Amino acid sequence: MSPRRRSSTASDPAAHAAAPEAADTAQQAQQLRAALERANHRYYALDDPEIADDAYDGLLDALRRLEAEHPELRTEDSPTQRVGAEPVSRLQKVAHLEPMLSLPNARTPEELRQWVTRMRTHLAREGIDDPAIEYVVEPKVDGLAISLVYRNGVLQRGATRGNGEIGEDVTHNLRTITSIPQRIEHAPELVEIRGEVYMSLHDFAALNERRAEAGESTFMNPRNSAAGTIRQLDPKLAAQRPLSFSAYQVGVSEGLELSTHWEALEWMAGHGFPVNRDVELKRDEEDVIAQCQSWEKRRGSLDFEIDGAVVKLSDLALQRRLGSVGRDPRWAVAWKFAPTTAVTRLQKIAWNVGRSGDLHPYAMLEPVHVGGVTIKLATLHNEEDLRRKDIRPGEDVIVLRAGDVIPQVISPAPHVAEHKRRPPRPRPPARCPFCDTETVKPDGAVFTQCPNRDCPERRWQLLKHFCSRGGMDIAGLGDKQVAMLLRRRLVSTPADFYALSEEQLLGLERFAESSVRNLLAAIDQSRQRPFARVLFALGIEEVGEVTAQSLASHFGDIDALLAAPAEAIAEVAGIGSKTAAVLREALDDDGMRALIAALRQAGLKFEQGGLAATDGPLVGKVFVLTGTLPKLSREQAAERVRSAGGRVSSSVSQKTDYLVVGDSPGSKLAKAERLGVAVVDEAQLLALLDH
């Protein structure tokens, strides 16, 4: 995780425990949100996670704690309030029939017992005293959650989980998976099957071998490989990559009577769905714990990766009575395996330069086998992280591969304490490793920086970010192509992409005539990306995807944003006054102004509403949504408003026409009342839409 610039706390949840002042607390919350937003983007949009699940959970817990202590800091778009992250791609979006939930975690027998106690207490409150409970224990396969909808026995649609409410339609790729039945016999009218799509270890190894032989890049791990495959646009590609499926839940159904989850598993197995054979039914909590531990022991001998075990209450009526808290069901829990660690030699600390010039350290390790993979590199957050961990090149260190993502260096190996003379502490380089400019560390900054705006590495990072999936999403402009264009001096700022010509590109290696045409078409198409994406693509340090979206809907166009004083920016939901000040400074920068002007000249969208309908009953009306609506999710309501021509903003101001309120509306209601903004409920909104 790359912590935000002005503090190290985003990378260190523990540091949040002692939050001294209100302003600091607000800033911490903002930093945590920014860090989580970035992690979500990497995980969901790019399938390229940057931090381990454990680290992610640590951040989320820290934010939850902070928000619980200071409810006024809770924003509507806080990662704690969402089911997941927004899906990003060109696949069709589909609404799930019922939200796809996630799972709370238990890491120790004690936490599992506490989960049982919480469940029993809740049931007792509902008048169900001391019920006999049956638990089902399943492996938690590390792949991707999928929902399959069968109508009258025919597979109609398959979708990824997405943000839990809206997923992506990947039916075309799921049809290539042989273990997913296209048709089921003796089927009810409607049945939704949920399960995990994954790649087995032997299929993964064979695929990577084939790719290496063909000179193609290899996949990091089976999960990324499955995720990348399932989101392909072309099913022929998916068909060449062997995926498997494991069914673990019957979702929505009509005409199917099931009373327990165990029966649901049997029903699925009986109708041709692959259900893990070693799933077990237990009555005693201690047996449940033993079963979880037994999965942990078997982990290394399986032909697929698992990152835990899942314990579910079998009785479906009790499940319904228990319900869920936010995105976590009360009736199920994930037993997370202890992270895997190993000891190896730290060969060197090397440094990357980010687009804003920050130098990020990372560890180069003697290759070591951890949790099923060989690792050579590990992330380190910043200099403070290095100092706190006190690791030194030339000594042994403990590395951790938690949640099966990016490995982290934890500390020196225990025996290092016996060293009489330790090697010197690593320091950030005095000169930028890429452009040799003298590095600087401004007062109060967390990162040493390369101050050279022309640094090739900084430029590359910025240009890559601009073309990336969450940004302008220009197909054909991957890391390598961008590096080459930069080397050939065909581009130096993002605006240069829009001036590229066929003649310039045709001579270049790996650019056949057709790919040049495709690339130029893709660049041209990117002019249609909505304002929020353009704002994100600009690469301003504080502006992640969610913030970009909030800024775009709040200000409506770039001129309003450029003219807004910091105080006005701070009114946007999720942006604190410090971030607003930093943002203000970034927007006032001459280089940024020149870039915006050039991109505007190139025809990019600098105003909201590219997608909004230009007619409809709500044209010109500004809506703010708050609280939980009875029928529609917030996103669905916003979509309805937009397609009727209205605009959705994240905070109430003089410009707001309607505040739509649901349950537990929070401070927005008071503000709307103060400003005399019309307040409507969902039914009234629906009536407005119908006009």
Stretch that binds ligand IVH, among 133-141, 150-158, 168-176, 221-229 (CB under 6 A): 133-141
By beta-carbon proximity to ligand IVH, the closer residue of 44 and 204 is 44
Burial class (CB in 10 A: 0-12, 13-18, 19+), 216: exposed
Q: Give the tokens for residue 691.
A: 């006009």
Q: Which of 93, 140, 441, 605 is catalytic?
A: 140
Task: Give the footprint of ligand IVH on residues 275-314 (CB under 6 A).
Answer: 310
Q: Please identify the residue of the shown chain whose CB is closest to the bound ligand IVH.
A: 145
Question: Parallel, antiparallel, or unpaired: how do β-strands 306-313 and 324-325 relate?
Answer: unpaired
For 605, other C-beta atoms within 10 Å of its C-beta total: 22
Range 325-364, binding ligand IVH (CB under 6 A): 329, 332, 334
**In this structure, are strands 332-336 and 105-106 parallel, antiparallel, or unpaired?**
parallel
Which pairing describes strands 373-379 and 359-370: parallel, antiparallel, or unpaired? antiparallel
Q: Which is nearer to ligand IVH, 199 or 495 (CB)?
A: 199
- The CA distance from 23 to 20, in Å, is 9
**Nearest Cα to Cα of residue 66 among 30, 29, 14:** 29
Q: Which stretch binds ligand IVH (CB under 6 A): 140-148, 335-343, 433-441, 477-485?
A: 140-148
Binding status of residue 582 toward ligand IVH by CB under 6 A: no
Q: Which one of 134-142, 221-229, 281-289, 481-489 is the stretch in contact with ligand IVH (CB under 6 A)?
A: 134-142
Query: Within 13 A of 219's CA, how many CA atoms are on the CB side?
Result: 21
Asked if residues 333 and 311 have their Cβ atoms less than 8 Å apart, the reply is yes
Residue from the set 10, 52, 83, 101 that interacts with ligand IVH by CB under 6 A: 101
Residue 553 binds to ligand IVH (criterion: CB under 6 A): no
List the one residue from 161, 605, 621, 640 that touches ligand IVH (CB under 6 A).
161
Q: Which of 19, 45, 73, 103 binds ligand IVH (CB under 6 A)?
A: 103
CA–CA dist 691, 689 (Å, integer): 6
Closest distance to ligand IVH from the beta carbon of 549 (Å) = 24
Closer to ligand IVH by CB, 196 or 635: give it: 196
The amino acid sitting at 676 is G
- CB count within 10 Å of CB 674 equals 9
Question: Under DSSP, is residue 328 helix (H, G, I), strand (E, B) or coil?
Answer: strand
The strand pair at 144-151 and 190-198 is best described as antiparallel
Among residues 449, 464, 433, 434, the alpha carbon closest in space to that of 383 is found at 449
164-203: which residues touch ligand IVH (CB under 6 A)? Answer: 196
The single residue among 102, 260, 468, 608 that binds ligand IVH, judged by CB under 6 A, is 102
Nearer to ligand IVH, 288 or 660 (CB): 288
Q: CB-based burial of residue 672 (10 Å sphere; 0-12 exposed, 13-18 middle, 19+ buried)? A: buried
Backbone angles phi, psi at 50, to 5 degrees: -105, -25
Q: Quick check: 264 binds ligand IVH (CB under 6 A)?
A: no
Is residue 138 within the footprint of ligand IVH (CB under 6 A)? yes
Total residues interacting with ligand IVH, rule: CB under 6 A? 15
Asked if 376 is an active-site residue, the reply is no
**145 interacts with ligand IVH by CB under 6 A:** yes
- Which one of 57-65, 137-145, 180-188, 287-295 is the stretch in contact with ligand IVH (CB under 6 A)? 137-145
Contact positions vs ligand IVH (CB under 6 A): 101-103, 138, 140-141, 145, 161, 196, 248-249, 310, 329, 332, 334
Q: Which residues are catalytic?
A: 140
